[in-house]
């Protein structure tokens, strides 16, 4: 197993940075279209994560230099046979937000090789959700050592693409019909008589 080396990871991922950001942009656009804003933040997190994994699988299926391992409750992506990536929402500390499981602990331990790519350096691509929960503020590539962090860098590529909120089109209002005016009965009265 290779301990993740930052400059080697950067060099390997650099050609894919734009596509990785496109994955996140698509996932959050889809999240907004779906009607973002569940009652519980954890549901939003699950919806966002699901969208990221779906978008990443769609983006990198049959992509030269990328192998996808869609196993368990996530997918891992091997770039150029050197860097094994998993996508994670960033915690407040900027590391992947993880539930402790055996698979998670194995991924975070750089000494434990990934069976399908034993020489690969394992890293997380973490997105920090913006304050509104409708997109991301930044994307970081992070190498972990269990609960600790070996190193981290912000992935180049600028700001998140613009997300347009879906516009609800109002139902066309029926044309207002003019109100018929009643004749003034006083004008139509004959002298000394009733209106005709």
Output 99 or 4, whichever has higher pLDDT: 4
Residue 99: inside a domain = yes
| Total tally of structural domains belonging to the chain | 1
The most confident of 87-91, 123-127, 178-182, by mean pLDDT:
123-127
Residue 46: inside a domain = yes
Average pLDDT over residues 15-25: 94
Residue 164: inside a domain = no
Residue 174: inside a domain = no
Q: Look at residue 59 in the predicted model and tell me its pLDDT.
A: 97
Residue 196: inside a domain = no
Residue 29: inside a domain = yes
- What are 59-74's pLDDT values in tens digits? 999 999 999 999 877 8
Distances (CA, A) of 78 to 82, 108, 113: 7, 16, 13
Residue 142's φ and ψ, nearest 5 degrees, are -130, 130
Q: Look at residue 147 in the predicted model and tell me its pLDDT.
A: 81
Q: pTM for the whole thing?
A: 0.75
- What are 154-190's pLDDT values in tens digits? 998 755 555 454 455 545 555 666 555 666 656 655 5
Residue 169: inside a domain = no
How far apart (Å, rounded) are the C-alpha atoms in residues 72 and 77?
13
Residue 176: inside a domain = no
């Amino acid at each position: 197993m290779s301990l993740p080396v930052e400059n080697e990871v950067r060099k390997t991922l650099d050609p894919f940075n734009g596509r990785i950001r496109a994955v996140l942009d698509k996932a959050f656009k889809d999240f907004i279209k779906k009607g973002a804003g569940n009652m519980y933040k954890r549901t939003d997190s699950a919806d966002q994560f699901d969208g990221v994994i779906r978008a990443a699988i769609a983006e990198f299926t049959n992509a030269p230099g990328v192998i996808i391992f869609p196993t368990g409750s996530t997918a891992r992506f091997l770039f150029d046979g050197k860097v094994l990536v998993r996508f994670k929402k960033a915690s407040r500390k900027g590391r992947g937000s993880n539930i402790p499981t055996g698979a998670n602990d194995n991924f975070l331990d750089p000494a434990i090789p990934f069976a399908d790519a034993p020489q690969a350096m394992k890293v997380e691509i973490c997105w920090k959700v913006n304050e509104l929960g409708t997109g991301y503020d930044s994307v970081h590539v992070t190498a972990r050592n269990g609960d600790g962090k070996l190193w981290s860098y912000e992935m180049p590529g600028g700001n998140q693409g613009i997300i347009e909120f879906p516009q609800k089109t109002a139902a066309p209002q029926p044309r207002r019909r003019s109100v018929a005016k009643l004749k003034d009965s006083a004008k139509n009265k004959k002298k000394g008589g009733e209106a005709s």
